[in-house]
């Protein structure tokens, strides 16, 4: 049903949560699961909790790092409770669902972090947007599969009433294309000494944030790469 949307679990500690997630997904019509560095998978505990959903687990793809998992997607959306420190754009759950449903031609990852620690800051920098599920102020400890259940439910609920819009389809760049440009830019900025050992961390972060929020199209990435290439040639004449 949601063939362009992947649910991504990062550094999951408890295999039971992977099984519960598969069940939560399937009740709302989601079948594509990516696992980044799970502590234990496949596992009998996952299978036991994936009542009637072992097919989702069998087709799940396992990656050793998040960069590889996000590379093929056009939009990467990370779930996080820590929106106060957010340095990437925040979407409400409704905004997130509408955005993805309006752009069915785009491949989208919805990314959930570890049970205790969530997504790390460096994981979040691989995301174009951040979403936070509203929870009660005194106790916000959502179970991992419960979080997946809530997000997939919102998708399913909204699909039922969603009217396809006439917005023109956008050929979003993939994360791989975008990150290649960012890496090339950073290399050049080291060459020009704009980036030094001292400021490297903060500038690298700022550059990622700037170009993540831009919704770059493939054509635009190519134009930006052409600019960098022209500078490179001129410098090495």
Q: Which residues bind a copy of itself (CB under 8 A)?
A: 1, 20, 23-24, 26-29, 51-53, 83-84, 86, 90, 92-93, 132-136, 138-143, 145-146, 149-150, 153, 156-157, 160, 164, 166-168, 185, 188-189, 191-194, 203, 206-207, 210, 213-216, 219-220, 223-224, 226-227, 229-231, 233-235
Burial label for 94, CB within 10 Å (0-12, 13-18, 19+), is exposed
Give the shortest CB-169-to-a copy of itself separation in angstroms: 13
Question: Which helix (DSSP H) or strand (DSSP E) does residue 6 occupy?
Answer: strand 5-10
What are the percentages of helix, strand and coil residues in the chain, rounded to 5? 45, 15, 40
Reduced to 3 states (helix: H, G, I; strand: E, B; else coil), residue 231 is: helix
For residue 201, report the phi and psi dihedrals to the nearest 5 degrees.
Answer: -65, -50
169 CA to centre of own chain: 20
Give the shortest CB-225-to-a copy of itself separation in angstroms: 11
How far is residue 170's CA from residue 27's CA, in Å, rounded to a whole number? 30
Give the shortest CB-29-to-a copy of itself separation in angstroms: 4
Residue (66 or 173) nearer to a copy of itself, CB: 173
Give the shortest CB-230-to-a copy of itself separation in angstroms: 4
Residue (64 or 163) nearer to a copy of itself, CB: 163
Residue (51 or 62) nearer to a copy of itself, CB: 51
| Residue 96, number of CB atoms within 10 A of its CB | 23
Residue (58 or 194) nearer to a copy of itself, CB: 194
Give the shortest CB-198-to-a copy of itself separation in angstroms: 14
Reduced to 3 states (helix: H, G, I; strand: E, B; else coil), residue 50 is: coil
Q: Which residue has the tokens 């590379």?
A: 71
Residue (160 or 198) nearer to a copy of itself, CB: 160
């Amino acid at each position: 049903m949601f063939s362009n949307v992947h649910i991504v679990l990062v550094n999951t500690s408890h295999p039971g949560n992977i099984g519960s997630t598969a069940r939560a997904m399937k009740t709302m019509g989601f079948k594509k699961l990516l696992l980044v560095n799970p502590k234990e998978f496949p596992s009998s505990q996952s299978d036991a909790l994936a009542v009637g959903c072992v097919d989702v687990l069998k087709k799940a793809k396992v990656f050793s790092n998040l960069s590889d998992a996000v590379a093929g997607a056009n939009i990467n959306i990370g779930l996080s409770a820590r929106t106060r420190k957010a340095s990437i754009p925040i979407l409400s759950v409704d905004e997130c669902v509408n955005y993805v449903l309006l752009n069915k031609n785009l491949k989208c990852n919805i990314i959930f972090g570890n049970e205790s620690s969530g997504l790390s800051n460096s994981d979040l920098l691989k995301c174009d947007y951040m979403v936070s599920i509203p929870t009660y102020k005194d106790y916000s400890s959502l179970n991992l599969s419960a979080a997946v259940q809530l997000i997939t439910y919102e998708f399913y609920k909204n699909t039922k009433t969603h009217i396809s819009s006439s917005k023109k389809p956008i050929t979003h760049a993939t994360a791989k294309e975008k990150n290649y440009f960012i890496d090339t830019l950073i290399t050049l900025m080291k060459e020009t000494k704009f980036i030094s050992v001292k400021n490297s961390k903060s500038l690298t972060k700022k550059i990622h944030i700037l170009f993540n929020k831009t919704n770059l199209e493939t054509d635009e990435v190519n134009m930006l790469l052409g600019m960098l290439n022209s500078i490179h040639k001129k410098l090495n004449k």
